Amino acid sequence: MSILLSPLSVNGLTLSNRMALSPMCQYKAVDGLAGAWHQAHYGARAIGGVGLVMLESTAITAEGRITHGCLGLWNDAQEQALRALVANGHDLGAAMGIQLNHAGRKGSAQVPWHGGKALGINDGAWPVPAPSALAQDGGMSQPTAMSRDDIERTVAAYAAAAQRAVRAGFDVVELHLAHGYLLHQFLSPLSNQRDDEFGGDFDGRTRFPLQALQAVRAVLPAAMPLFVRLSCTDGVPGGWTVDESVKLARLLRAAGVDLIDCTSGGIAPPQPRPAGVAFNADAAQRVRSEGDIATGTVGGITDAAQAEQILATGQADLLLLGRALLSDPFWPLRGRRELVPSPYLRAQF
């Protein structure tokens, strides 16, 4: 039997297969609300056969958005809209996950197709917090260093958003500790130059992310999986390393994390990526074996044979598919007639 099509049990949830939609920002929300675009986009991937549909980065506060077009989960209207989205995904056969995030210094930005730079004062810009008053490269907003009270309020906001996610019916909650957003900013010595208990050494830089995770785990049902998306390396000298990711993985497991979704980069300008090479799989394997925790991997996964090899060699337990599913929502169905929904059997898969 194909490993890719085999079930995966994570805590109290069993996924029908090892394929998941990777969280990818759509920038199509209005006031943080999911709408027709999100129903169609996520519904198509559920019909397409992935075991888990993971929603895009969803802001825990208004100031935690990347752009004006980001989904949010800080008020009742947003919760209600996501409840309808989750119900639709369940009806179409997929488990539904949500990625909770705070953009930190990468917030208050234009959508990518308008340049992705800092919003101007006439564009509805908002102040952005960060561990230190260091701006992201590339024309992003100048942040303000967070106070201890800011950190406490943000921890509470993560927990409140997680409670809303439970009420909305999600099966999985994921926290974003990657791609240069707030929790990753605290992890990386390139962005965190604090001299208090939330900076400095490994213990200081991981303190706030661990507090956020513990607060979220405390409000989730015991059997509900908690994932973390982790940039396992910054990919530049002086940044966060795979060795530190392995060390953090052990702490995450102890804090109640069930799976680490292994990715890379985001703090510094991106490095060139080889086409068709699963460039995060080796880090996922190290985190899995040395951290004694289930992992997913994302990035450069383009075909089924490659995906099977990643699973067969123990590099990861779950494959998160991004660009492959953007261009082809039915990627999981190709060559797998047993997965094709009955109304689509007339088509050529």
For residue 175, the domain's CATH number is 3.20.20.70
pLDDT digits (tens, 9 = 90+) for 286-299: 999 999 999 999 99
Domain of residue 258 covers 15-340
Banded model confidence at residue 1, pLDDT cuts 50, 70, 90: low
Confirm if 55 and 100 have CB atoms less than 8 A apart.
no
pLDDT, tens only, 125-175: 999 999 999 999 889 999 999 999 999 999 999 999 999 999 999 999 999
The residue among 266, 323, 328 whose CA lies nearest residue 300 is: 323
Beta pairing, strands 13-15 & 8-10 = antiparallel
φ/ψ bin of 91: left (φ > 0), alpha (ψ from -120 to 50), beta (otherwise): alpha
Query: Looking at the domain assignment, is residue 41 inside a domain?
Result: yes
The answer to the question of residue 347 being in a domain is: no
- Residues 138, 200, 279, 19, Cα dihedral to 10°: -100
Residue 274 has pLDDT above 90, yes or no: no
**Rounded to whole angstroms, how far apart are CA atoms 56 and 308?**
25
Q: What is residue 28's predicted lDDT score, i.e. its pLDDT? A: 98
Judge whether 155 lies within some domain: yes
259 within domain boundaries: yes
Sequence-ordered list of residues with C-beta below 8 angstroms from that of 258, at least 6 positions apart, any chain: 10, 11, 225, 226, 227, 293, 294
Q: Quote the pLDDT of residue 276.
A: 76
CA proximity to 194, closest of 125, 146, 251? 146
How far is 113 from 167, CA to CA, in rounded Å? 34
Q: Is residue 4 part of a domain?
A: no
Contact by Cβ (8 Å): 85, 38: yes
Total domains present in the chain = 1
The angle subtended at Cα 179 by Cα 174 and Cα 181, nearest 5°, is: 75
59 in any annotated domain: yes
Average pLDDT over residues 260-278: 88
Phi, psi of 301 (to 5 degrees): -90, 115
Q: What percent of the chain has pLDDT over 90?
A: 94
Query: Catalytic amino acids?
Result: 181
**Percent of the chain scoring above 70 in pLDDT:** 100
Residue 292 belongs to some domain of the structure: yes
Out of 269-273, 285-289, 345-349, give the one with best mean pLDDT.
285-289
Backbone angles phi, psi at 24, to 5 degrees: -135, 120
Beta-strand ranges (E) seen in the chain are 8-10, 13-15, 19-21, 52-59, 71-72, 95-101, 129-130, 144-145, 172-177, 226-231, 259-263, 294-298, 318-321
Distance CA(349)–CA(336), nearest Å, equals 7
Q: How confident is the model at residue 348 (pLDDT cuts 50, 70, 90)?
A: confident
Domain presence at residue 9? no
Q: pTM here?
A: 0.97
Q: What pLDDT, on a 0 to 100 scale, did the predictor assign at position 271?
A: 77
